[in-house]
Amino acid sequence: MADDLHTLAVRAAALVARDDEAGERAVLGIAGPPGSGKSTLGEHLADAVAALGVGVVRVPMDGFHLADGELVRLGRRGRKGAIDTFDVDGYAALLRRARTVRARTVYAPDFDRSLHQPVAGSIPVLPEARLIITEGNYLLSPDPAWRAVRGLLDEVWYCDLERDERVRRLVARHERFGKAPDVALDWVAAVDEPNAAAIAAWSGTADLVVDVAGLDLPPGRD
């Protein structure tokens, strides 16, 4: 269990030297259930790594949400956020390109929470970037397609947060981005918590468990 941001930043920065020798960028994955603080940790960790003089960029998995129109076609719109509502092959392809293409800018999508949609070409991975931080629910999944993603990550850290606090944050986030309180509670119970149970079951395969509450981070920008 790790609970010191500077220590985490030093560990993340140390990944860079290993991959520099191979001419590649390092990629650090941050996994955890919905509402566990992955994005907040990713933001503050990126700032702390940059303060060490290492070029760093965040490329969240959420940019690979399938668009709502495609989820409707597949009959999955009512459980958006489940493991089969992401373009896992596109995510793996982008991470592979971002690892290996260092001479020019690589563009990655982001997720606009106000639109509830991915937006292509939103995140530039500049040539000077040496570390990519990517956050996502399913980075530890044993599913073969997701194992391909895991193979592109130098390490995967798991965000650990007490369930009641995690659910409280999650409901508040759904409300902040437009859901009525009762709809937010129903969505968390029917969609987010079943996903969270599966994700928690994979936590033992993480390279590091991070006590998110112990870090006492201010709220993230997402």
pLDDT digits (tens, 9 = 90+) for 166-185: 999 889 988 988 889 899 89
Q: Is the pLDDT of residue 124 over 80?
A: yes
**Average pLDDT score over residue span 72-79:** 95
**Average pLDDT score over residue span 199-217:** 93
C-alpha distance across the termini of the chain, in Å? 25
**Average pLDDT score over residue span 29-41:** 94
Predicted pLDDT of residue 2: 53
Fold of 5-213: Rossmann fold (3.40.50)
Which distant-in-sequence residues (6+ apart) come within 8 Å of 200 by Cβ? 33
Determine which of 16-20, 26-30, 155-159 has the lowest per-residue pLDDT on average. 16-20
SS3 at position 84: helix
CA–CA–CA angle 198, 204, 205 (5° rounding)? 95
Of 64 and 181, which is predicted with more confidence?
A: 64
Mean pLDDT of the chain: 92
Q: Is the pLDDT of residue 1 over 70?
A: no
Give the global pTM.
0.92
- Cβ 218 vs Cβ 10: under 8 Å: no
Chain-centre distance of CA 62, in angstroms? 7
Lookup result for tokens 């509830």: 116
Q: Is the pLDDT of residue 203 over 70?
A: yes
Of 148 and 3, which is predicted with more confidence?
A: 148
Q: Is the pLDDT of residue 221 over 70?
A: no
**Average pLDDT score over residue span 70-77:** 96
